[in-house]
Amino acid sequence: MSAYASADIVDAFRNQLELCKLAKGETVLIFTDPRYVRPEYVPAAFAAARTLGAEAYVMISQGDQMLEDNLVCSAWNNADMVLGMSMLPRGIGSWIYTETSNNALRSGARILMVQEPFDGLKRMFPNETIRRRGLIGAQMMEEAKEIRITSASGSDYVMRKDGRKGAYQCGIADEPGRWDHWPSGMVYCAPIEDSAEGIYVIEPGDVLLGLWRHATTKVKLTLEKGRIKKIEGGSDAYLLQDYLDSHGDDGAYRLSHAGWGTDERADWGSVGMDSESKYGTVLVAIGRNILDAPAKHCGMAGENWSTAHCDICCRNTSLWLDGKQILENEKFLIPDLR
């Protein structure tokens, strides 16, 4: 990689850190590890933070760190802002599902994940439209008690969410105790873990994000009392079953979060945050969901501690909140969500 790769992208990081209200004298911890896939982001963020007058630090953890030791925890807890540039800890998919991250948020840190390709960071740079759609959607989600999802391909399932938060992501972590992922545009909640009932169909072309691929075959999940009782279909059903069985805990067969994407700039051909963020698509994930944050409309506070986490992003799907249809085949029926 060119030695100029970091220097060329400092402006984008500075613009992002300004959106996150990074101020002179605040401390920024850039947390990374030797296997982080975008090493050029670390010096770019460091330089951008310095230009804003912040006190910047880089912590490079060993590649098998579980984010449990005192040094890591105290650094996260005491930073005004943490930039998570790491896929650690291995085995549970992401540091966002650790108590280390939850505790730092409780301590008032704002936390931003950055790991997508630079093309995505630019193309889906946060803006007020994505923030507005997210906030209004999260308010509606928070008030709702039941989510129903249907599709012409045969999905028809319901989930309860009584008392659970409604959350959104817009790519900006600008208040104490808020986390976000640059880039992203989504609304979601953690449904009650034993509540999902019905049939969840994944079509070819939908995204099995936990498997880092578009589905090429139809998959039918049967949900009973919140648990996936049956996985039927072709090769993708086999791969999904294998992924969940490889984790094997009870939560691996229960849902994690449910909601929709808000960003029309997302590219369905790019598997990652593009898949999760695509405007009008429905994302219902399986597995771990303990991410919690004190900021309003942030985090999930779910009770699924599984080591599995598989996001599944579906096109051509409809969604109801408490019996009121808000989404019909990727078109929002509520003007405020458009």
Under DSSP, is residue 97 helix (H, G, I), strand (E, B) or coil? Answer: helix
Q: How far is the CB of 95 from Fe ion (least distance, A)?
A: 13
Closer to Fe ion by Cβ: residue 46 or 188: 188
Q: How far is the CB of 263 from Fe ion (least distance, A)?
A: 16
Q: How far is the CB of 93 from Fe ion (least distance, A)?
A: 8
Closer to Fe ion by Cβ: residue 221 or 285: 285
- Going by C-beta distance under 8 Å and a sequence separation of 6 or more, which residues neighbour residue 23? 52, 53, 54
Closer to Fe ion by Cβ: residue 92 or 231: 92
Amino acid symbol at 119: D
Q: How far is the CB of 174 from Fe ion (least distance, A)?
A: 22
141 touches 188 (CB < 8 A): yes
- Going by C-beta distance under 8 Å and a sequence separation of 6 or more, which residues neighbour residue 128? none
119, containing H or E segment = helix 118-123
Site for Fe ion, rule CB under 5 A: 285, 311
Which residues sit opposite 208 in a β-bridge? Answer: 213, 312
Query: Where do we find the tokens 């994940």?
Result: 113
Q: How far is the CB of 51 from Fe ion (least distance, A)?
A: 33
Under DSSP, is residue 195 helix (H, G, I), strand (E, B) or coil? Answer: coil
Please state whether 205 falls in left (phi above 0), alpha (psi between -120 and 50) or beta: left
Q: DSSP label at 198?
A: E
Closer to Fe ion by Cβ: residue 56 or 300: 300
Closer to Fe ion by Cβ: residue 206 or 311: 311
